[in-house]
Amino acid sequence: MSASFFLSNFPNKLFPRIVGLSRTIAARKVHAAIERLASAIGEGHPGGSPLWLLGIANGGIPLAYRLAEAINASPSSNRRAVAGVLDISFHRDDLGQHPIPKEFTPTALPGDVTGASVILVDDVLFTGRTVKASLDELFDHGRPGRVQLAVLVDRGGRRLPVSPDFVGMTVEAGEQETVVVKLGEDPARDRIAIHPG
């Protein structure tokens, strides 16, 4: 009998799994990442019709509004950015495990999506399933001219062929770890936390 087989049969309480500690990224670095995102998006979309920044509910919503505000405030930007919301509740592939909550943010688009230049905005990119669901929701409302993806945190671990066009920061997180972005009304309290599984 091999040692690895023998040890795997012991109860977990006798051989507890070693887990990492929680890590936190402070507000200063979060704000720098948002500024990088806004700058990259503004430079990639000079002039023309309004640019839609659609926050994927719920984590992408505050980020989308902050990005729109930063782009519109930039003296070098000639393009107006407008923020909106995409609710993906009815397109998630885990609906059976996670029912739709009673309080959810419905989709709110700035106008007719047909022909619009759209950037999907989310706080964390992981497997890619959220992005797939957001595309399904978006195309339920029309056919945009162009769709791109902006994320504050790319943590890797993709399960679908999804790649962001704009990334604020990349973090290393294990499969069982959780990455939580907190963007509140008080920017001084913004943070990103990585918790062990």
Q: Is residue 88 part of a domain?
A: yes
pLDDT band at 189 (very low <50, low <70, confident <90, very high): very high
- Domain holding 168, by residue range, is 18-195
pLDDT tens digits, 102-120? 556 899 999 999 999 999 9
pLDDT tens digits, 113-172? 999 999 999 999 999 999 999 999 999 999 999 999 999 999 999 999 999 999 999 999
Give dist(CA 24, CA 34) in Å, integer. Answer: 16
Q: Is residue 96 part of a domain?
A: yes
Q: Is residue 5 part of a domain?
A: no
Count of domains in the chain?
1
Give dist(CA 145, CA 130) in Å, integer. Answer: 21
Q: Is residue 68 part of a domain?
A: yes
Amino acid at 118: V
- Contact between residue 145 and residue 115 where contact means Cβ atoms under 8 Å apart: yes
Does residue 9 carry a pLDDT above 60? no
Q: Is residue 146 part of a domain?
A: yes
Give dist(CA 114, CA 144) in Å, integer. Answer: 5
Does residue 196 carry a pLDDT above 50? yes
Q: Is residue 9 part of a domain?
A: no
Strands (E), the chain: 23-25, 51-56, 81-86, 117-125, 146-154, 166-170, 178-182, 191-195
Tell me the whole-structure pTM to 2 decimals.
Answer: 0.85
Q: Is residue 13 part of a domain?
A: no
CATH of the domain at 140: 3.40.50.2020
Give dist(CA 140, CA 91) in Å, integer. Answer: 10
Q: Is residue 4 part of a domain?
A: no
pLDDT tens digits, 36-77? 999 999 988 877 788 999 999 989 999 999 999 999 998 876
